[in-house]
């Protein structure tokens, strides 16, 4: 039995009975049979189903958003935006999947040669709680449009969201077992990947979880895509538009109560503007509205679990012991953690080295461009970096020097269906979204024809 608990009220939302091994095997068998039928559907048929999915999401977005808010504490307006983004990715792939997977003709010595993109089969998705709908849709939509079917192992604290997602696809008309939720704990993941029915696996989660999944997939010679942690730097140069940069930084660090792999966690500021910039930023952050996540005015809700808030508190205290200074915030009460800015942060401190998964921003200063790049790259993660400057040509010349999956200039790092999303180093490998993402889970088949 697994309990779903509201992190704000501490009330139990529902107690879920986990699937037995027999039930899991039955689901996988049914998914495999469904794939043999579904893979023969046309792009036009899949397009209609996916557009229906988008309509269902938008029609009942408040209902789905409330499940997100109740299960993991995301402020309701941000939860609604998450549902709307899910509808967007449905619409994008409905309109573009056929083009992305069109046959590629290649001139060779053959009379005819080309490349086809064919579905692999039943795919396993292991997903986190912080974006309980978006993370699932980001992977599942292109997978379904490519002709695969999906089984989901969601985070245990958002099983309600997982079951609603299955309901969304079924309401939209997708045949049963095109998408199925497995109610199992993390201790069951390895045996599911081992199952011959599973052809490939993707995980969005922590480094240790990703490493374990990759090892199991590798042992079985199965494709894997890892979307793991991040410790994104936000670099503010002295010619930046200060007010615009501050607004963007607040969104980048504090939306979803800071619980995002792509959040800007390290703020690197050029020394000459650091003092005034920190003062203005701290004033703005101190005015962010905290409170009940179901209140539409709330911007900072609660963290998803108390142990996560306690971990963030420990990371902060360890860094304070080494000389870091709190500019604003810093206090915790159960699952609530004040939006916090910490200055005097050095690379030896935990809040610089490790991912801080909550509303805490670590501030470090730099003297010049070379030092800024060095500080940004001084991380085991490589998901993304944000640069703030009016000199766009100079910023573009710097792009190759960053060890990141993405570089955003005068904007926060974010996922967009039209662009590939993913990282390097311990942030993982492989890509989601765009034409690159849909091709991660297909058989790239060469066809060569001679007389």
CA 428 to CA 440: how far, in whole Å? 14
Beta strands in 138-246 (DSSP E): 149-154, 179-182, 198-204, 223-227, 232-236
Location of structure tokens 């997982």: 162
Would you give the DSSP letter of residue 187?
G
SS3 assignment, position 324: coil
SS3 assignment, position 119: strand
Catalytic choice (71, 91, 227, 338): 227
Catalytic choice (86, 90, 178, 261): 261
Query: 312 pLDDT exceeds 90?
Result: yes
CA-to-CA separations, 199 to 32, 123, 133, 221, 434, in angstroms, rounded: 10, 6, 23, 9, 22
Over range 183-207, report the average pLDDT.
97
The structure tokens listed for 164 are 């609603």
Query: 83 pLDDT exceeds 90?
Result: yes
Name the residue among 134, 150, 174, 4 with its Cα closest to residue 72: 4
Whether 261 is catalytic is yes
Predicted TM-score (pTM) of the model is 0.97
Query: 321 pLDDT exceeds 90?
Result: yes
Residue 370 exposed, middle or buried by CB count within 10 Å (0-12, 13-18, 19+): exposed
Q: For residue range 255-265, list pLDDT tens digits in order.
A: 999 999 999 99
Whether 178 is catalytic is no
Query: 370 pLDDT exceeds 90?
Result: yes
Chain center to CA of 125: 13
Query: 20 pLDDT exceeds 90?
Result: yes
Q: For residue range 140-173, list pLDDT tens digits in order.
A: 999 999 999 999 999 999 999 999 999 999 999 9
Q: Walk me through the domains of the chain, giving residue ranges and CATH numbers.
A: 2-228+427-449 (3.40.605.10), 232-416 (3.40.309.10)
Query: What is the percentage of the chain residues whose pLDDT exceeds 70?
Result: 100
For every residue of 16-56, DSSP letters joined together read: EPPPPHHHHHHHHHHHHHHHHHHTTS-HHHHHHHHHHHHHH
What pLDDT sits at residue 451? 79
Residue 83 burial (CB count, 10 A): 23
Identify whether the C-beta of residue 95 lies closer than 8 Å to the C-beta of residue 325: no
């Amino acid at each position: 039995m697994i309990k779903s608990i509201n992190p704000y009220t501490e009330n139990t939302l529902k107690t879920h009975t986990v699937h037995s091994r027999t039930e899991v095997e039955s689901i996988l068998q049914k998914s495999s049979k469904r794939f043999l039928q579904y893979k023969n559907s046309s792009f036009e048929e899949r397009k209609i189903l996916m557009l229906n999915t988008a309509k269902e999401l938008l029609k009942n977005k408040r209902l789905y958003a409330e499940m997100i808010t109740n299960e993991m504490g995301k402020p309701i307006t941000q939860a609604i935006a998450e549902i709307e983004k899910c509808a967007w990715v449905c619409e994008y792939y409905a309109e573009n999947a056929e083009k992305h997977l069109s046959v590629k003709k290649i001139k060779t010595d053959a009379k005819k040669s080309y490349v086809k993109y064919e579905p692999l089969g039943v795919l396993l998705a292991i997903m986190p709680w912080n974006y309980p709908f978006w993370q699932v849709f980001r992977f599942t939509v292109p997978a379904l449009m490519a002709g695969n079917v999906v089984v989901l192992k969601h985070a245990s604290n958002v099983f309600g969201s997982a079951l609603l997602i299955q309901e969304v696809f079924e309401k939209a008309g997708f045949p049963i077992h095109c998408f199925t939720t497995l109610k199992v704990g993390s201790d069951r993941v390895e045996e599911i990947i081992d199952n011959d029915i599973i052809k490939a696996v993707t995980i969005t989660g922590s480094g240790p979880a990703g490493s374990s999944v990759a090892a199991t997939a590798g042992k079985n010679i199965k494709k894997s895509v890892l979307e793991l942690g991040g410790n994104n730097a936000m670099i503010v140069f002295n010619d930046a538009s200060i007010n615009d940069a501050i607004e963007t930084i607040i969104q980048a660090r504090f939306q979803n109560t800071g619980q995002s792999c792509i959040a800007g966690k390290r703020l690197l500021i050029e020394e000459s503007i650091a003092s005034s910039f920190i003062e203005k930023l701290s004033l703005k952050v101190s005015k962010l509205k905290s409170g009940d996540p179901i209140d539409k005015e709330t911007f900072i809700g609660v963290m998803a679990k108390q142990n996560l808030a306690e971990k963030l508190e420990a990371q902060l205290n360890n860094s304070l012991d080494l000389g870091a200074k709190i500019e604003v915030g810093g206090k915790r009460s159960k699952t609530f953690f004040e939006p916090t800015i910490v200055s005097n942060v050095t690379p030896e401190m935990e809040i610089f080295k490790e991912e801080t998964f909550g509303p805490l921003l670590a501030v470090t200063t730099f003297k010049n461009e070379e030092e800024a790049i060095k500080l940004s790259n001084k991380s085991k993660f490589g998901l993304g970096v944000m640069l703030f400057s009016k000199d766009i040509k100079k910023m573009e010349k710097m792009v190759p020097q960053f060890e990141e999956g993405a570089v955003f200039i005068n904007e926060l790092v974010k996922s967009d269906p039209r662009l590939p999303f993913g990282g390097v180093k311990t942030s993982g490998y492989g890509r989601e979204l765009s034409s690159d993402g849909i091709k991660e889970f297909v058989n790239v088949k060469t066809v060569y024809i001679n007389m």
